[in-house]
Structure 1
Amino acid sequence: MSLADKVLAVNNDLPIRTDSPVHSGKVRSVYWLTEADSRRLIADRGYDVAEDAPLAIMVISDRISAFDCIWQGEEGLNGVPGKGAALNAISNHWFRSFREQGLADSHILEIPHPFVWIVQKARPVMIEAIGRQYITGSMWRSYAKGERDFCGIQIPDGLEKDQKLPELLITPSTKGILTGIPGVPEADDVNITRQNIDDNLDAFGFRNADDVDLYEKLLKEGFDLIGDALADLDQIFVDTKFEFGYVTDKSGNEKLIYMDEVGTPDSSRIWDGESYRNGKVVENSKEGFRQLLLNHFPDPDILLNKERMDERAALARDNALPVDVLMQVSKTYLDIAEKITGQALELSANPKAEIVAILDKEFGLID
């Protein structure tokens, strides 16, 4: 079996029983279960959810996205070996830590396979909840051009690239394109202020004003928990994105939970501590791949300029990356997953066949 065969690049074609279209995102695909299967699993597995809660099977892939494009490799390597398993293992680790430390639950109900989550449907808060402990990336680029107001927060003069900020900043942006909110442009990933949120609770999906305080509290507590754990591994938690939503438990109580993924190399920047102390930034996250792409192509503005999306899409479509580049990315993901979880990941030779077998034999979900 070739290396390409071990990569799960296509994850929206599994024979999982569903009566809804499969939702395929950049990395994960979501299979909404039938009402009958949802009710059966809730009863059989004892999930702490309402008996009529919609459930889904969420299957991760090894695809890699950057600058809003999916990138391919030579020799049919259309993903990064081990990436999907690494992302899930890291998220599982942090979600479990959050729950054990009394922060909040997640949308995950069960993990039948390293590539698979059984999740409950959440009512999402329409915010990309971003926490920043260092000034780098897009924030640094804006700061270097003279911008000092970030999401309504005033940043002092005199900061240097990659410097630690005086405090953790919460710099939210919109999740998707939101319409009809005064002062908020109708575009994806638009920076917003705390005042924007307070003035438009319903539009952002909050039930009440107290939950805005709660989301910020959970962001800070989650950031600190991950940051402290990474510091013990001599890794620096630079910035990250959280997502939140509402679910209802078996007793009818509605609660705010973490959802999507947390503390992964896809949703966060993680730097090597020793290298940083020696004046060099070594990325242990997808940011390293982004930088590699910026250096790989002669005109990096195509990747940074949203007005050149057609050119960017063509760049990703028409340029297969060298295998050694994707294997370098693979090593980054596998190494940081092993550091965080304390366990080496064993990669499947045929993940798709394994997933189908487990969901058929143990859960009765294959047609």
Structure 2
Amino acid sequence: MTKTLNAIQETNFQFPGQTGFYRGKVRDVYSFPDKLIMIASDRISAFDVVLPRPIPFKGQVLNQTAAYFLKATADIVPNWLLEVPDPNASIGLNCAPYAVEMVVRGYLAGHAWREYRDGRRMLCGVALPDGLRENDRFPTPIITPSTKAHEGHDEDISREEILSRGIVSENEYIQLERYALALFERGTAMAAERGLILVDTKYEFGNLDGNVYLIDEVHTPDSSRYFYADTYQANLQANQPQKQLSKEFVREWLIANGFQGKTGQTVPTMSDEWVNQISQRYIELFETVTGQSFQPAEGSDSLSRIESAILRTLTK
């Protein structure tokens, strides 16, 4: 069990009745016959690479932001979440995940812009017109799916390829599309209430007893990009970068320092000052998106706190 600067690098618990364990890029997942425990660590990934230093409070921000939006969208699609026993942990239903992520984009930004800038006009089977600028709004949101990789890079994939390869059945895929667009519409409205623009995001779904559930996180800084609405138009007209809340600023820093996750590249050194800056940006996003004040989890021994809270819940 490792901690750095009071940040949670990883967990290695063994819970009663536990049947499996999986360490993702950010979350440590403990499986049981009928449920999952997801612990949001303070690891941070970019370009599908886990960076060497964890970010204090990042896991708490992710877990609590996800819980906030899962509750706020439960009327659109059922979701996996049952309870939140600790600021860094969630317990929910053990659904069989679909092997695709439903990425919804309302604006030409991030990965989509980099592809467009490099001359590509087809993104995941969606044709894009010439003449668009970075951060231009699409007439209607588009879905650009990606495969869900356990290791390495997720890959862009088209609707047609998903169906032809039998990754998801057509009926299920239509349902995933409908849910994803409805969730994006709700997220857009909730963001607007907070003076933000939901630029793009990804949704993951699973199946349980023949029913589709929203799983993992939703509308968090790791899965979403937000712009500040009050400066959007002026920055667009002036061809200036958008003021945004997302981890895109981490990607931009990595790119500026010669790292894009490509073979042979080395992750640049992250100073204490830079790590703290990232932490503050995550806290800012939580407070701005939810309208709630961030309350850092108490106690200096985060691992013991998390383990005790989960054990209390499991033995209820």
Q: For the structure 1 residues 156 and 273, does the alpha-carbon distance in structure 2 shift closer, same or farther, using more than 3 Å as the test? A: same
Q: Secondary structure at the match of 1:333?
A: helix
Are 2:67 and 1:98 aligned? no
Match of 1:226 in 2: 187
Q: How many residues align?
A: 306
| Residue 124 (structure 2) aligns with | 151
Structure 1 counterpart of 2:28, one-letter code: S
Matched, 1:240 2:201: yes
Alignment of structure 1 residues 48-67 onto 2, 5 Å: 53-67=33-47
- Structure 1 equivalent of residue 140 of structure 2: 167
* Aligned counterpart for 1:342 among listed residues 250, 272, 291: 291
Gaps of 5+ in 1: 34-52, 73-77, 178-186, 249-253
Name the stretch that deviates more: 138-147 or 157-166.
138-147
Tell me if structure 2 keeps the 8 A contact 1:15–1:356. Answer: no
Q: Is 2:283 the partner of 1:327?
A: no
DSSP 3-state at the match of 1:278: helix
Aligned mate of 2:87, from 101, 110, 114: 114
Q: Deviations over 1:166-201 (max 9, x none)?
A: 210111122238xxxxxxxxx95332222223334x
Name the CA distance, whole Å, in 2 between partners of 1:124 and 1:189.
15
The structure where strand makes up a greater share of residues is 2
User: Percent of counterpart pairs with the same letter?
Assistant: 29
1:241-285 deviations in whole A, cap 9, x for unaligned? Answer: 11111113xxxxx31111111111101111122232331412211
Q: How does 1:74-89 map to 2 (within 5 A)?
A: 78-89=53-64
The offset of 1:159, in angstroms, is 0.5
Write the distance in 2 (CA, Å) between the matches of 1:359 and 1:266: 24
Tell me the residue number matched to 1:189: 154
Structure 2 contact 194–291 (Cα < 8 Å) conserved: no
Q: 2:221: which partner in 1?
A: 265
So what's the TM-score if we normalise by structure 1? Answer: 0.78
Contact 1:338 1:345 in 2 (8 A): yes
- The secondary structure found in structure 2 opposite 1:237 is strand
The answer to whether the 8 A contact 1:124-1:205 is kept is no
- What is the rounded CA distance, in whole Å, between the counterparts of 2:101 and 2:88 in structure 1? 24
Which protein, 1 or 2, shows the higher relative CO under an 8 Å CA cutoff with sep ≥ 6? 1
Q: CA separation in 2, counterparts of 1:188 and 1:290? A: 15
Aligned to 1:294, the other structure's residue is in SS state helix
Unaligned runs of 5+ in 2: 236-240
Q: What SS class does the counterpart of residue 125 from structure 1 fall into?
A: strand
Residues 1:229 and 1:19: Cα distance change in structure 2 (over 3 Å): closer
Report the alpha carbon displacement of residue 19 of structure 1 after superposing the two structures with TM: 5.0
Quote how far apart the aligned CAs of 1:154 are: 1.6
* Cα distance in 2 for residues equivalent to 1:167 and 1:287: 23
Give 1:211's aligned amino acid: E
Instruction: Give the structure 1 partner of residue 255 of structure 2.
Output: 294
Letter in 1 for 2:62: L
Instruction: Tell me the CA shift for residue 141 of structure 1.
Output: 2.0
1:201-234: CA deviations, max 9, x gaps? xx3144xx33222111110110111111111211
Corresponding residue for residue 282 of structure 1: 243
Higher helix share: 1
Residues 254-263 or 18-27, more deviating: 18-27
